[in-house]
Amino acid sequence: MGNSYTTFITLLAVFITFYFSLKVGSLRGKIGVNAPNCDGGDDFNRAFRVHMNTIEQIVLFLPSLWLALPVLGDLYAASAGAVWVIGRLLYSIQYMRDPNSRTLGMVLTFLPTVVLWGAAMWDVIQRLS
């Protein structure tokens, strides 16, 4: 398979998003935050925001990853994707500890998405010229 690394990174990104949803669900039960409520104290609110922010970011990341794949190749696209995954994990750890310390994780999520999107956009512009 010519895009095995990118496929693996995609599966990791989906997995951590799913993992974050499980954390929220677990805290709902533990703390007693009944749906549709989304306020359950600091631990719950932080876990909820990590999950929601990851969903917000994955919507930008995954299409950019796959659109950049033909331009960058499997190894480089997946490498950028690996930075995104590490960024999300770091973001989660930092945000759960102290939301004001989330900057590095946020940057490591944002930059790969911009690079991937830029590579895909560059390819489209080149093809349209």
Helix pair angle (103-128, 74-97), 10° resolution: 150
- If we measure between CA atoms, which residue out of 79, 81, 89, 48 comes closest to residue 63? 81
In this prediction the pTM is 0.94
Spans of the chain below 50 pLDDT: none
Q: Which domain holds residue 45?
A: 4-122
Residue 25 domain-assigned (yes or no)? yes
The pair of three-digit structure tokens given for residue 69, joined into one six-digit string: 């794949």
Quick: pLDDT tens for 57-91: 999 999 999 999 999 999 999 999 999 999 999 99
- At residue 40, the pLDDT reads 86
CB 102 within 8 A of CB 87: no
Which CATH number do you get for residue 55? Answer: 1.20.120.550
DSSP string across 28-54: HHHHT--TT-----HHHHHHHHHHHHH
How far, in Å, CA of 54 to CA of 76, rounded? 22
Residue 9 domain-assigned (yes or no)? yes
